[in-house]
């Protein structure tokens, strides 16, 4: 199968700009950004295609051409917030807030254009916030992206807070050569960019050296274009940084650098995706695409999309028939009449979901609908997405009648098992085999590692060792992360081996594994490797420190190094950024307890339980803390609640059984430890406690 390839050179236009004297030519630094105007002369067609695209409109200064919304004294009210849009002295303004508390803001930039346009407001400390009210460019009306939600002022998602902050959430993928320049101690920004929008150099890299080469009468040497997407890998390196849900590893995104050296791709776990891997949260495209058979077969972004216009190359089923048999475009295949939506390939194989209030996006995992999985696991399927009045059971029966009862092997069969613990012996075996079978997508196998509840069994340890040799960096990283449960001595041997991995993501994973280690205790050669990977880990944490989760990560890092006051400072900053980020409370309470501030720890957990009263881990920690404070009966009550809310928390069973044993309630202790060992049959501490309890019963 021959696929189309994209290359800058395919334009067929000479890059040699005519000159008379080389001395008159402007000389640029090879890494200098020079702006798209310098590209037009030789790349007119590419520029024409790009002009007016989503990339071109990513961000602009506001004027009568770029502002699409109605600012002619327009009013809008949504969820208790009033908006008044108007112009003054050729500038655009919005007055908004709760009735009687409205404030006036000047629009600093437009943001996007279709199907919605947003507006940026400049705030103190270099922060730019995205206004909650947006302009619907299809229906020509104001709308609220979070319709029906009254978001409080201190919520991370409020339009004045971090979840709607341009610098944090949007900037580097809507501008060229963006440098966030975040000041951690001050929680402030001095953000800069080479070009306000997504220009040529955002994808192809700085063109200074290329222009030097193009301007010579007799060009020689490398044309200096760093990123030309003429292969799947190169295109993903160009596109994936902005079209994937991911975590940054570096402070500045650079075009053409390998994805795994700049980002960690988000796994398809059930926090962000449905348990079979279909899109749920705003997952963008790459996490779906790398699950697909299309990806496995080498399909590139440019096989379907014009990379400069960003539009699909062909309309309707013609796009798919570039590669697939024409028989698929027939009633004999899809069993639907006419030429409507039901007969389009994408309707069944790329179902949609709406994001940002009105932005319809397609799932790029290109999967066959599986209503049978919907019946068992409550996952969505394309059939009942259209036939809303029908059940998944109806759809399953219909598919069986038309296509037979046998379904092709698909990774989701095993991922669904991995996502639904507890595991019996058969499911353990199935998931372990799935993780190490490289015929399945790496992102799905990495997710299964993330799900797997380790119980110190040899088969699990062997699986991790095999996963560490996987060709996919994402799998190796998540295998390393799973070693966190092992003693430092055992972790150290593994970490040292992978601190010189070819991929930055894996080296960072190795550094995370021994974050608590005093590196001065290592031999000189080992110290050098460990220090280099630790510096990469610290860069990653700085790159994400303007996120509450980034501050949480910093807090955990300092906690492991026993720098408890720094850890507490970071945890407190995380809660200042987002008071609803519940994992911070448990870690902060643990830090308080460690320095002997038990009452502060208890208050922190009490605050958490007011926010999330069904959070089992909070009750578990509360139980441990109450016992330490001499309140054994209350501790037992909390641990029982912890088990009721989280029946997979083995340590809750173990500690509750231990408390019953100490109190002499041996029968209850025996029942509790027996139930716990069903989750961790090989746990040495649990087995020993069971022996002690049963000795008392006898």
**pLDDT per position as a tens digit, 10-61:** 222 333 333 334 445 578 888 899 999 989 988 999 999 999 999 999 999 9
- In terms of domains, do 244 and 388 share one? yes
Contact predicate 142/74, CB 8 Å:
yes
107 beta partners: 121
What distance in Å separates the CA atoms of residue 489 and residue 590, rounded to the nearest whole number?
Answer: 24
Which has more pLDDT, 98 or 432?
Answer: 432
Contact by Cβ (8 Å): 314, 326: no
- Give residue 222's pLDDT: 63
Chain centroid to CA 407? 30
CA distance 63 to 58: 15
Alpha carbon distance 622, 430 (integer Å): 36
Phi-psi region of 125 (alpha: psi -120 to 50; beta: other; left: phi over 0): left
In this predicted structure, what is the pLDDT of residue 99? 84
The 10s digit of each residue's pLDDT in 206-218 is 988 888 888 876 6
Phi, psi dihedral angles at 6 (to 5 degrees)? -105, 135
Count of structural domains within the chain:
3
Reported as a pLDDT band with limits 50, 70 and 90, residue 221 is low
Give the closest residue to 623 by CA, choosing from 595, 596, 586: 586
Same domain, 27 and 125: no
Q: What is the pLDDT of residue 225?
A: 66
How far from chain centre, in Å, is Cα 151?
Answer: 23
Final residue of a structural domain among 129, 158, 189: 189
* pLDDT reading at 82 higher than 70: yes
Region 236-245: mean pLDDT is: 95
Do residue 64 and residue 118 come from a single domain?
A: yes
Q: What one-character-per-residue DSSP string does 79-106 give?
A: TTEEEEEEEETTEEEEEEESTT--EEEE
Residue 479 in any domain: the answer is no
Provide the 10 A C-beta neighbour count for residue 185: 7
Domain closes at, from 379, 399, 419: 399
Cα angle value 64/69/74 (rounded, 5°): 110
- Let me know if residue 275 belongs to a domain: yes
User: Residues 396-430: pLDDT tens digits?
Assistant: 999 999 999 999 999 999 999 999 998 999 999 99
pLDDT tens-digit readout, 613-666: 999 999 999 999 999 999 999 999 999 999 999 999 999 999 999 999 999 999
Please report whether residue 472 resides in a domain.
no
Please provide the size of the chain in residues: 698
Residues 274 and 384 in one domain: yes
Helix ranges (H only) for 487-547 are: 488-498, 504-513, 524-543
The verdict on residue 350 lying in a domain is: yes
Same domain, 378 and 266: yes
Kindly report, residue by residue over 242-263, the tens digit of the pLDDT.
999 999 999 999 988 999 999 9
Same domain? 158 vs 135: yes
| pLDDT band for position 7 (cuts 50, 70, 90) | very low
SS (H, E, C) 398-416: HHHHHHCCCCCCCCHHHHH
Per residue in 299-317, pLDDT (tens digit) is: 999 999 999 999 999 999 9
Q: Indicate whether 210 and 138 sit together in one domain.
A: no
Dihedral angle at the C-alpha atoms of 264, 267, 271, 273, nearest 10 degrees? 130
One domain for residues 340 and 375: yes
Residues 666, 660 contacting (CB under 8 angstroms):
yes
Q: What domain range is 271 assigned to?
A: 238-399
Judgement on whether residues 40 and 83 belong to the same structural domain of the protein: no
CB 613 within 8 Å of CB 644: no
- pTM listed for this prediction: 0.89
- Considering the domain architecture, whether residues 221 and 74 belong to the same structural domain is answered as no
Question: What would the pLDDT profile of 153-190 be if each residue is shown by its tens digit?
Answer: 888 999 999 999 999 999 999 999 999 999 999 999 99
Q: Is the residue at 414 inside a domain?
A: no
172: in domain: yes
In a domain, 93, yes or no: yes
Same domain, 75 and 101: yes
Evaluate if residue 668 carries a pLDDT over 70: yes
The residues that bridge with 360 in the sheet, in sequence order, are 354
The Cα 352–Cα 225 span in angstroms is 36
pLDDT tens-digit map of 491-548? 999 999 999 999 999 999 999 999 999 999 999 999 999 999 999 999 999 999 999 9
Listed residue (199, 193, 314, 184) closest to 252, CA to CA: 193
Cα separation values, 145 from 86, 123, 227, 242, Å: 21, 21, 35, 21
Judgement on whether residues 280 and 377 belong to the same structural domain of the protein: yes
Computed over every residue of the chain, the mean pLDDT equals: 92
Helical residues (DSSP H) of 356-457, grouped into ranges: 371-377, 382-386, 392-403, 412-418, 425-435, 442-451
3-state secondary structure string, 32-63?
A: CCCCHHHCCCCCHHHHHHHCCCCCCCCEECCC
Q: Which of 556, 605, 562 is nearest to 582 (CA)?
A: 605
Q: Say whether 183 sits in a helix, a strand or coil.
A: strand
Structural domain includes residue 607: no
**Which of 399, 429, 459 marks a domain boundary?**
399
């Amino acid at each position: 199968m021959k696929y189309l390839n994209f290359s800058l050179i395919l334009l067929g236009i000479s890059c040699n700009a005519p000159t008379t004297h080389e001395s008159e030519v402007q000389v640029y630094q090879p890494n200098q950004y020079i702006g798209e105007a310098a590209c037009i002369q030789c790349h007119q067609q590419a520029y024409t295609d790009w002009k007016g695209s989503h990339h071109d409109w990513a961000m602009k200064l506001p004027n009568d051409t770029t502002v699409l919304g109605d600012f002619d004294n327009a009013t809008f009210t949504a969820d208790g917030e009033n908006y008044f849009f108007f112009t003054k002295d050729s500038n655009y303004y919005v007055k908004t807030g709760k009735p009687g508390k409205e404030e006036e803001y000047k629009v600093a930039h437009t943001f996007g254009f279709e199907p919605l346009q947003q507006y940026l407001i400049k705030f103190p400390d270099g922060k730019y916030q995205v206004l909650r009210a947006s302009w619907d460019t299809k229906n020509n009306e104001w709308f609220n992206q979070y319709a029906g939600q009254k978001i409080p002022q201190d919520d991370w998602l409020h339009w004045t807070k971090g979840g709607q902050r341009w610098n944090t959430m949007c900037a580097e993928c809507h501008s060229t050569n963006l440098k966030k320049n975040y000041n951690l101690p001050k929680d402030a920004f001095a953000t800069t960019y080479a070009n306000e929008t997504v220009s040529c150099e955002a994808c192809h890299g700085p063109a200074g050296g290329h222009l030097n080469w193009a301007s010579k009468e007799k060009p020689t040497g490398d044309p200096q274009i760093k990123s030309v997407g003429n292969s799947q890998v190169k295109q993903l390196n160009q596109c994936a940084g902005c079209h994937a849900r991911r975590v940054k590893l570096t402070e500045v995104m650079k075009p053409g650098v390998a994805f795994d050296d700049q980002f960690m791709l988000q796994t398809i776990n059930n926090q962000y995706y449905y348990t079979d891997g279909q899109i749920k949260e705003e997952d963008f495209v790459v996490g779906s695409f790398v699950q697909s058979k299309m990806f496995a077969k080498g399909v590139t972004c440019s096989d379907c999309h014009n990379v400069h216009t960003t539009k699909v190359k062909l309309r309707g089923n013609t796009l798919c028939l570039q590669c697939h048999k024409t028989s698929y475009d027939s009633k004999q295949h899809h069993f639907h009449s006419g030429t409507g939506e039901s007969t389009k390939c994408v309707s069944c194989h790329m179902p949609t979901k709406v994001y940002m209030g009105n932005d319809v996006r397609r799932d790029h995992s290109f999967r066959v609908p599986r209503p049978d999985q919907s019946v068992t696991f409550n996952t969505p399927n394309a059939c009942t997405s259209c036939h809303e009045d029908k059940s998944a059971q109806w759809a399953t029966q219909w598919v069986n009648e038309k296509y037979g009862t046998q379904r092709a092997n698909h990774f989701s069969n095993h991922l669904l098992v991995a996502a639904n613990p507890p595991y019996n012996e058969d499911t353990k075996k199935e998931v372990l085999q799935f993780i190490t079978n490289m015929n399945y997508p790496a992102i799905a196998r990495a997710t299964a590692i993330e799900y797997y509840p380790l119980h110190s069994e040899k088969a699990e340890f062997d699986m991790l060792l095999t996963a560490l040799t996987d060709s996919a960096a994402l799998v190796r990283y998540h295998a390393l992360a799973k070693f966190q449960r092992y003693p430092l001595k055992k972790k150290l041997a593994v970490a040292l081996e992978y601190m010189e991995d070819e991929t930055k993501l894996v080296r960072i994973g190795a550094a995370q594994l021994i974050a608590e280690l005093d590196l001065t205790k290592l031999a000189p050669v080992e110290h050098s490797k460990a220090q280099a990977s630790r510096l990469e880990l610290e860069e990653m944490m700085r790159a994400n420190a303007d996120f509450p989760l980034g501050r949480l990560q910093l807090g955990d890092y300092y906690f492991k190094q026993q720098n408890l006051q720094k850890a507490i400072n970071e945890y407190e900053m995380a809660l200042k950024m987002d008071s609803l980020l519940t994992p911070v409370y448990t870690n902060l309470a643990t830090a308080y307890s460690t320095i002997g501030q038990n009452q502060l720890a208890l208050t922190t957990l009490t605050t958490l339980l007011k926010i999330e009263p069904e959070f089992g881990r909070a009750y578990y920690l509360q139980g441990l803390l109450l016992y330490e404070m001499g309140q054994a009966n209350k501790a037992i009550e909390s641990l029982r609640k912890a088990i009721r809310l989280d029946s997979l928390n083995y340590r809750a069973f173990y500690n509750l059984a231990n408390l019953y044993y100490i109190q002499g309630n041996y029968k209850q202790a025996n029942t509790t430890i027996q139930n716990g060992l069903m989750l961790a049959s090989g746990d040495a501490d649990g087995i020993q406690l069971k022996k002690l309890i049963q000795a008392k019963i006898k």
